[in-house]
Structure 1
Amino acid sequence: TGSGKFDFASFTGKGVKVAVVDSGIDPSHPDVGEVAGGVRIRIDEGGKLLFDENWIDEVGHGTACAGIVRKKAPDVLLYSVRIFDDASLSAKGEVLVEAIRWCLENGMKVVNLSLGTTKRKLVSALKEVCDQAEEMRVMLISAEHNEGLESFPASFPNVFGVAAGRVHGKYAYLYREGNPVEFVARGDPQRVCWVRPRYVFMGGASFAAAHISGLIALILEGYPDADFRQVRKVLIANASRPVHGSMVVRPSKAPSKRRLDWIKKAAIYPFNKEMHSLVRFRDLLDFEVVGVGDPIGKGLVGKDAGEAIGGEPSGLKITHRLDRILEDADTLILGYVDQLSTISRRDLLKELLEMAIGSGRHVYSLAPVDRSFYPEIFEEAEKRGLRIAFPFVSKEELRKISSERLSAPKQVDVPVVGVFGTGPSQGKFTTQLALRRKLLAAGYKVAQIGSEHQSELFGFDLTFPYGYASAVGIPLSAYVPYLDYKLWEICEAKKPDIVVVGAQSGVVPYDFSASPLTNYTLPSLAFLLSTKPDAYILTANSIDPDDYIRDTIAALEALGKGKTVLLVMSDQEKQVRTWHGASRVFLRRMPLEKLRLKLKRLEEKFGIPATEVISTEGQEKLFRTVVEYFGG
């Protein structure tokens, strides 16, 4: 057995017997599969050891560990040694000793012990059976105590002790020289197999140990006669990087430079739907909103911006005077003005750019600004050291990624939540921000891909603005490989606990005579197929027919791999009015009681939890539903 590079990817663990000593294994789980055999060991009231064949998991913890081993080493022979019967995951010390002894007597080569004890009175009996395992060349892998306390058998020198860390990559793990628990593997929150539900979102040293058990099974396929010392040598030589001493592994805190870090104080104009989030969720911004402007005629001038959208007072009074909102700002955030330009028959974009740059302010525009249309304005901005920025995905960015990297298979081991809808203007972005706020407050590390132009302002990891006034310059055929690659790249770099992605409009068109490009159906389907969410949050309109909601759920779950876990309805009620043969949709705020009745009906009709996301209670339900689905 050499101490050089071991090619884990060349092995599958074929023929290696791996025992999971835990709460059992559920062989019906699709990501676990066949279990070669097993035993249940317990003690009756009289202190007698009992053995039976009821080794099937009824808790989930053992199935989670088995699923991790199976993912690393798909061809191992799994054996279930059940010693835990309930969620407390506790058993008598002599049961654990007997479980290890059973593994030795039944020819196991790897024994996963995602457990341990801090009781020193058990050390002698455990040490004896662990010494016997070493003599028989049986590898024992044990989890460190989750709070770092000395625990056994993880601290024994002839057991592979494993601590939890934020370590990503199928074959990635760390080595801690000089620490009784020498190895660190992925133990941050991750999607693992379970019994009920089928998957949960959970972390801990238990799962870190299972990752190492899978890797050791691969090593033993390559070196079937290796002893503990030789396997340890291979693991040390192939660790992702050495970690010296008793250093605690934690996520990197190195700040990444924001592309928009030049925005310190912003004024926003006009105060249309896209701008509402900048007031409602201004606590999520890295800059201060100091002014809000809107044209006369919409009925908002003079009102508090927060109260105007049904929220708490913001202290920002809406004015029609652009010069006034720019007084304390260094940047003008410019929303869509195309409709206002049409109504006024003026080039408002040009006028607003000239006013902002002329007064020494940067500009961030939600819509792309074509330099060839306004070359003098761009030149003036450059002379003054000012920026004119907007979100855009260019062909040049796509070309930076080689075809090999775009087409290579990629694995994202992080739960992905997708926010989709039945149509436009129904609160998808509000839902994404509400979930972001709650996850961050709870300490989760969040990665996010947004399709709204303002996503970048909130620090999303990728803005892919394919909706209204699309700023995506790559062909539709490139959406899937590009987004697939970017999602993988973000997860590799950031190591998030969870990913939230948000689409545009709907995935099933209302009108099949309309172009699927015009209503964003095809782009949204490409977004779905590339991000592959594990769970869907579906936003619906108050006027949506039941069949249409049902069709949308069916489309999401048939084309993607996820499950619809929550329905969301906005407090903005849509009303369709016909005038001279043309139909228009108007929005009106729905009374809370009426909204709650509609939500209750949705839950009864579809058997899926439903909520609004404006109130504190609604946002809490959104957060709780997502976290409980993944078992966090």
Structure 2
Amino acid sequence: MITEKISKPFKADIVIIDTGVDIKHELFGDKAFFGVNIYNRDDKIYVGTNIQDEIGHGTAITHKIITICPWASVFIIKIFQQDREVDENILLRALEFIKENIECNVINISAGLTICTRLHDLQQICKELHNDNIILISAFHSDGSLSYPASFKEVIGVEMGMDYKNDDEFDYVESDFVNIIGRSGRQKLANISSSFQYVEGSSFSTAVISGLVLNYLHERNSYTFNEIMTYLKIHAIKVYEKSQSVVDNSFGFELRKAIAFPFNKEMSNMIKFHDLLSFNVTKVLHVKYSGQVGKLVSEIIGTKVDKDFVIENIDSLDWEAQFDTVILGHTVELSKKMKKDINQEILKKCIKYGKNLYAFDPLLNYDVLIQEARSNNCNVFFPTVDKNQLPAHRFGKLCELSTPVLGIFGTSSMQGKFTLQLVLRSVFKANGYEVGQLGTEPSSLLFGFDEMYPMGYNSNLSVSRHEALQVINDKLMRIERKQVDIILVGSQSSTIPELTTNTAFYTFKQIEFLMATNPDIAILCVNVDDDYHNVLKTINAIQSLSRANVLSLVIYPVIKKITTNNLYQLTKPSKHQLDEYRIGLQEMASLPVFILGINDEMERLYEQIIHTLS
């Protein structure tokens, strides 16, 4: 039976959102089916009355559910026509239709969106239905991703498994994402034209859970979501116990006035881009033997800055002065030269004078001092990635992002990749865009980046390759849920090995980062003396290992030469040298080439990005 008009509110035990139902199937006999079909025509959503199944999936799901609970009244919402491609607008309208018109106990959803541009709207309607005490049960997509709405915490998300003897056997997972793993073996169920078919997949595991929940509710006048979850947990074959929440790698304390020591390449960006900081840098310091004390920062970095500093001697610092945080840069090489443990020395000073510490190096060997600092209300933060940041019970599922991701990669170290990230952050924000950002420098969070995956110099990554993919993906998912307009990510050093003569040259971390971030478009930073063939190989690698198209190339206008002391000597190329290389690079790569640090060129790069993503 198909209703021409739906009386409000229409009452049903369960709503099945699927491909419809074969209402004339002999298996259903005199079973009454009510429902609507929701479809898209010329970008407009319509509600009709034809619920006849043309595919067979919904008929099989309905068969499975009423086999478990034949007494249940069923309302059908057909959202698929000739194929099973999910339209997010149709799914959203189906849930809104239920909210507006139907009183029901359970909604069975055989649809999974891997990419959803209206994620907030979809979760909001799921929250509203959940708050109305309606139990939403949804299958995960068969491609293995974190699909929606199954991934929402308001929805019982069902994944398929194979290690079960009977249809009603399942595992229970204490998680905000996957909640149930059910049997997915082949079974014979109803098909269109009064025929039958052999089927398998998470949709049919979902139908079983919907049937079990309906039977549980049938025996009760009232219920809560938590009671249903407890019921499922008690009757599960196996329970995946709740693990600790993913540790947030934000530093968790407010900076107002900070000093920076020792001054180096990583520190220079805090001076050049001080407008992106939420705090004030009050002093810049180094050791007296550095050759920098008494000099201006602008003199050291070779460029003008809005707010300049005279570099002071750390030994002369008044620790009782009005600053709250020490930003401690990399100290490994300096400690060797000074023949003392600088990290330990600074930690002790912070404890004595009540200062917070933000360190670039992983302070893994200072547990006692860190504990003492924290017991004295001194905050200590240092970048690290370990298993505490690994999301539990995802079963390898990754989130597909709908927000565009722009990746910045390079052909070597020391070529302004982080500077370019800060430039683009500044330009995007100045033009009114909400920018999400995942950085790989230890200073990333100081500039307001949302997440950090520190994988550069002296970094500590205590996760396996597969775990790294999950950690990075989880960070990107967290950023996207802030409803940003674009996500910027930036890698470290070279993308592919510059040499293959030693394992130290291999770029495993960079490849993991490239594949995990999987950007939509990429910018490649190059040196003014890079071999054209190596640039082309890097472009091909980026485009082969991700979905990105390399949009443009950005030249770092500095020549690096190694001195007899094994140190880098930086010189600026002549205009002729720069122009000649640029022309050759454009001809070889057939891509636009920009020069880092030239404002007009950075503006044109921004415009190219906007045009490409529009």
Q: Same fold (TM over 0.5)?
A: yes
Match of 2:392 in 1: 402
Select which of 499, 503, 516 maps to 1:511.
499
Matches for 1:24-39 after TM superposition, within 5 Å: none
Match of 1:365 in 2: 359
Matches for 1:183-332 after TM superposition, within 5 Å: 259-309=251-301, 310-324=303-317, 327-332=321-326
Match of 1:546 in 2: 532
Select which of 472, 477, 485 maps to 1:497.
485
SS of the equivalent of 2:443 reads helix
- Superposed CA offset, 1:461-519 (max 9, x none): 2111122111322223311122123312321x20111111111112210111221xx34
1:558: Cα distance to partner? 0.9
What is the one-letter code of the residue matched to 1:507?
A: T
326-335 or 296-305, larger mean C-alpha shift? 296-305
1:383: Cα distance to partner? 4.5
Q: 2-side partners of 1:258 and 1:396: how far apart?
A: 13
Match of 2:69 in 1: none
Select which of 573, 597, 616 maps to 2:599.
616
Q: 1:431 to 1:7 in 2, by over 3 A?
A: farther
Contact 1:293–1:322, Cα closer than 8 Å, also in 2: no
Select which of 440, 453, 472 maps to 1:464.
453
Match of 1:378 in 2: 370
- Superposed CA offset, 1:599-622 (max 9, x none): 343223322112233232232123
Matches for 1:125-204 after TM superposition, within 5 Å: 167-168=118-119
Match of 2:329 in 1: 335
Select which of 573, 580, 584 maps to 1:601.
584
- Superposed CA offset, 1:10-69 (max 9, x none): 68xxx99965389xxxxxxxxxxxxxxxxxxxxxxxxxxxxxxxxxxxxxxxxxxxxxxx
Contact 1:304–1:313, Cα closer than 8 Å, also in 2: no
SS of the equivalent of 1:495 reads coil
1:75: Cα distance to partner? 5.1
1:301: Cα distance to partner? 2.5
Select which of 476, 480, 499 maps to 1:487.
476
What is the one-letter code of the residue matched to 1:458?
A: F
Q: 1-side partners of 2:564 and 2:474: how far apart?
A: 45
SS of the equivalent of 2:336 reads helix
Match of 1:571 in 2: 557
1:317: Cα distance to partner? 1.6
Matches for 1:422-461 after TM superposition, within 5 Å: 422-461=411-450
1:413: Cα distance to partner? 0.7
Q: 2-side partners of 1:344 and 1:508: how far apart?
A: 35
Contact 1:356–1:362, Cα closer than 8 Å, also in 2: yes
1:295: Cα distance to partner? 2.6
518-527 or 274-283, larger mean C-alpha shift? 518-527
Q: 1-side partners of 2:269 and 2:395: how far apart?
A: 33
Q: 2-side partners of 1:75 and 1:438: how far apart?
A: 45
TM-score (norm 2): 0.60
TM-score (norm 1): 0.58
1:530: Cα distance to partner? 0.9
1:442: Cα distance to partner? 0.9
Match of 2:349 in 1: 355
1:578: Cα distance to partner? 5.4
Match of 2:203 in 1: none
Q: 2-side partners of 1:167 and 1:444: how far apart?
A: 18
Q: Percent identity?
A: 28
Contact 2:437–2:451, Cα closer than 8 Å, also in 1: yes
1:425: Cα distance to partner? 1.1
What is the one-letter code of the residue matched to 1:397?
A: Q
SS of the equivalent of 1:501 reads strand
What is the one-letter code of the residue matched to 2:464?
A: P
Q: 1-side partners of 2:318 and 2:396: how far apart?
A: 48
Q: 1:259 to 1:21 in 2, by over 3 A?
A: closer
1:369: Cα distance to partner? 0.9
Number of residue pairs aligned between Structure 1 and Structure 2: 408
1:173: Cα distance to partner? 7.8
1:379: Cα distance to partner? 4.7
Does residue 473 (structure 1) correspond to residue 473 (structure 2)? The answer is: no
1:172: Cα distance to partner? 6.1
Q: 1:283 to 1:628 in 2, by over 3 A?
A: same
Q: 1-side partners of 2:400 and 2:121: how far apart?
A: 8
1:415: Cα distance to partner? 0.6
RMSD across aligned C-alpha pairs, in angstroms? Answer: 3.6
Unaligned runs of 5+ in 2: 21-36, 45-78, 91-115, 127-191, 193-247
Q: 1-side partners of 2:483 and 2:607: how far apart?
A: 22
Q: 1-side partners of 2:17 and 2:448: how far apart?
A: 37
Does residue 20 (structure 1) correspond to residue 42 (structure 2)? The answer is: yes
Q: 1-side partners of 2:415 and 2:367: how far apart?
A: 34
Q: 1:382 to 1:487 in 2, by over 3 A?
A: closer
What is the one-letter code of the residue matched to 1:319?
A: E
SS of the equivalent of 1:311 reads coil
SS of the equivalent of 1:332 reads strand
Q: 1-side partners of 2:316 and 2:378: how far apart?
A: 18
Contact 1:357–1:363, Cα closer than 8 Å, also in 2: no
Q: 1-side partners of 2:329 and 2:408: how far apart?
A: 23
- Superposed CA offset, 1:366-400 (max 9, x none): 01112x4462x3354234311121122221221xx
- Superposed CA offset, 1:511-559 (max 9, x none): 11221xx346111111111111000111112222111111000001011
Unaligned runs of 5+ in 1: 23-71, 79-110, 113-164, 176-221, 223-255
What is the one-letter code of the residue matched to 1:626?
A: I
